[in-house]
Structure 1
Amino acid sequence: MVQIAPITESLPAFLASHSFSQVAVLVDEQTLQHCYPRIQALLPPHTLIQIRSGESEKHLETATQIWEGLTKAAFDRHGLLINLGGGVIGDMGGFCAATYKRGIAFIQIPSTLLSQVDASVGGKLGIDFQGLKNHIGVFQIPDAVLIDADFLATLPPRELRSGFAEVIKHCLIADAAKWEELRQQSWETQNWTDLIAHSVAIKERVTQADPTEKGLRKILNFGHTLGHAIETYFLEEPEKRLLHGEAIAAGMLTEAFLSRQRGWLTEEQFATIQSYLLQTYGKAQIPTDAFEAIVELTAQDKKNRGKEVRFSLLEGIGSCRFDIPVSNSEMQEALTYYAGL
């Protein structure tokens, strides 16, 4: 169940319709300060579990901290974990709930645009492992996703812009008319409530048709094969680290280039994508001596089959193909093109 409504209405209604033995809330230092005060009075007596924010904390040690918090609170299998935060909180908190005592109930209250339009919907959960994004995880649909656009007011502009990359992706893979509407405005002037509902509808439709990513759901990974590899490469360099959406913007541009090279995008279509992505995100500074390492990282992509690196590529704007093999030399060519812009 995904509900877009004021949290002061949706959370009490959800809790009233269930009987949980215990409740815990997972936060980081940011959501503890900016978001937790909005829900604290709406909750019964509960356990608060705090972790550090950021993708660099999305690993087994932090998951252990969450499991320890639940264990110390003597959580049984009838408890509820509320994940209050962005994609890291939702991915990791959901993963911990899905595996604690073989699974307890959990809900997502996404506080960032990225998590509201993408990460919290569809039941993909997990942690990073040995520097690889979401390498360990499960599929498990949350008991509810409660979205309130008012939480976006707590975000720095860079974080809001990062989440917008997933909105762009949804338009490019599934709604050409919405893409035309979207690109007429700068990211700062978008109607977030409308775009959240639009993205959620697309992601729900795709994930309900293919819950465990055997086929169609792979289109949601457009921009993410090279994008995740770029993001992972920079995780080791904190001063150059890219936010998820910034890396995905680079991924979408390079993967749109691959689509154009196959003749699936016209020059005009590719030009509109490139122009809008560069206007919105600028260009990530990827040194040429990083290309080989980035290409090597794509070998760990979860869409791969055997030794083939498989992409999801645009077939025109508003449509996407999946399971497309792409060679290392083609990826190098796409990165070289991007670096030369």
Structure 2
Amino acid sequence: MQPIQATNYSVYFNQDCYTFLDSFLEENNYSKLFILVDSNTNENCLPHFLSLVATEIVIEIIEIESGEAHKNIESCIQLWESLTELGGDRKSLIINVGGGVITDIGGFVASTFKRGIDFINVPTTLLGMVDASIGGKNGVDLGNLKNQIGVINSPKAVLIDTIYLETLPQNEMRSGLAEMLKHGLIFDKEYWTKFNDLGNLSSDDLDDLIYQSVEIKNAIVMQDPTENGIRKALNFGHTLGHAIESYFLENPLKTTLLHGEAIAVGMILESFISMKKELITLDEYLEIKTTINSIFERVVFDENDLDPIIDLLIHDKKNEYGTIQFALLDGIGKIKLNQQADNKLITAAFDDYKT
């Protein structure tokens, strides 16, 4: 697979990752190499990664607890302190080996330590490969509010080795599929249709789908790196999806949802809103709803859940002047930005989701 050229960096695949990395480390005189992992990737992914890295640079491993609950400023403080204690300086390099939490927080810590040091992302989850590690967004949550603190700053490279997917449970694989489905819905109808029958996909097919998904996201990001226009398309399903994810994260009576599980619900809800605004047809909506529900388990909502979820929408980063902004479908494969929906329509979307 040919590398994909992004703004200021490239995305490499499989064996090319390590060929690039060895040359990059040889060419750059880094003082120290820090590898950030969580408790899962330390055990399941780091040994493979280290076995393929050839360098004389001193390597320090820094581990944090896994999970969205640890993507916060408190973890950043611990990481900044660890970097300081271990002798990190302006010429250090951080390599983030993990899922979206690791690449998000690792990129943010690197971008702010000593006013910014270099970093490389090595995503080990499907979600990280097709979404979190691509596009230069780095950040952490503020309490239960998703990605409220952060910066846009490019890594030196993104290294995607699909062998790491063998370490994932099925729910984590499905979580990544949500973002791939989104890329088809907002950008490429033909790509979307490939997910109508997942049963016949081989591992080679999956590699190709991952590659195409990265191409789609990268094409959008390169047009609008700082999210002033078309990049907002990537938020389809996320306005309601993030509110749902945050609500389930903070509510002790709810089982925490993976990012993709919440976004899958958000895409169905926002497709319903698109239909009601006559941007997609009923048949298109039912196709979307049926396909997503065939992959993801239905999430149960009580009547008491809706008001607090809707209240969380005001914190969405796309909002302008206090108005909630949706990126809605304009037919499958196209998007319409800066759309509004009142609470009555949002409630109707939840009611339809339950049926």
Using structure 2 for the length normalisation, give the TM-score. Answer: 0.93
Which of 80, 84, 89 is the matching residue for 1:67?
80
CA displacement, residues 275-301 of structure 1 (integer Å, 9 cap, x when unaligned): 011111021112121100000101000
Q: Does 1:47 align with 2:56?
A: no
Distance change in 2, residues 1:333/1:292 (3 Å) = same
More off after superposition, 66-75 vs 84-93: 66-75
CA displacement, residues 103-141 of structure 1 (integer Å, 9 cap, x when unaligned): 000000000000000000000110000210001111001
Rounded Cα–Cα distance in structure 1 between residues aligned with 2:14 and 2:165: 13
Question: Which residue is 1:255 aligned to?
Answer: 270
Using structure 1 for the length normalisation, give the TM-score. Answer: 0.96
Q: Structure 2 matches for 1:85-96, cutoff 5 A? A: 85-96=98-109
Rounded Cα–Cα distance in structure 2 between residues aligned with 1:135 and 1:49: 24
Shift, 1:38, TM fit: 1.2
**Uncovered stretches (5+) of structure 1, i.e. residues with no partner:** none
Question: Which residue is 1:294 aligned to?
Answer: 309
Q: Does 1:112 align with 2:122?
A: no
Question: Which residue is 1:270 aligned to?
Answer: 285
Equivalent residue letter for 2:129: Q
Q: Does 1:222 align with 2:236?
A: yes
Shift, 1:30, TM fit: 0.4
Rounded Cα–Cα distance in structure 2 between residues aligned with 1:147 and 1:231: 26
Contact 1:254–1:335 (CA<8 Å) still a contact in 2?
Answer: yes
Contact 1:173–1:318 (CA<8 Å) still a contact in 2?
Answer: yes
Secondary structure of 1:80's counterpart equals: strand
Shift, 1:187, TM fit: 8.8
Shift, 1:189, TM fit: 5.5
Question: Which residue is 1:129 aligned to?
Answer: 142
Question: Which residue is 2:300 aligned to?
Answer: 285
Shift, 1:8, TM fit: 3.7
Secondary structure of 1:145's counterpart equals: strand
**Uncovered stretches (5+) of structure 2, i.e. residues with no partner:** 1-9
| Number of corresponding residues | 340
CA displacement, residues 157-182 of structure 1 (integer Å, 9 cap, x when unaligned): 11111111000000000000111222
Contact 1:83–1:93 (CA<8 Å) still a contact in 2?
Answer: yes
Secondary structure of 2:148's counterpart equals: strand
Which of 184, 200, 204 is the matching residue for 2:218?
204
Secondary structure of 1:254's counterpart equals: helix
Contact 1:288–1:336 (CA<8 Å) still a contact in 2?
Answer: no
Rounded Cα–Cα distance in structure 1 between residues aligned with 2:341 and 2:29: 50
Contact 1:126–1:137 (CA<8 Å) still a contact in 2?
Answer: yes
Rounded Cα–Cα distance in structure 1 between residues aligned with 2:310 and 2:172: 26
Q: Does 1:144 align with 2:149?
A: no
Question: Which residue is 1:3 aligned to?
Answer: 12
Rounded Cα–Cα distance in structure 2 between residues aligned with 1:21 and 1:323: 46
Identity in percent:
43
Secondary structure of 2:322's counterpart equals: coil
Secondary structure of 1:136's counterpart equals: strand
More off after superposition, 40-49 vs 91-100: 40-49
Q: Does 1:194 align with 2:208?
A: yes
Q: Does 1:156 align with 2:172?
A: no
Question: Which residue is 1:33 aligned to?
Answer: 43
Rounded Cα–Cα distance in structure 2 between residues aligned with 1:161 and 1:142: 26
Contact 1:170–1:202 (CA<8 Å) still a contact in 2?
Answer: yes
Which of 319, 335, 339 is the matching residue for 1:304?
319
Shift, 1:21, TM fit: 1.5
Equivalent residue letter for 2:12: Q
Secondary structure of 2:198's counterpart equals: coil
Q: Does 1:19 align with 2:33?
A: no
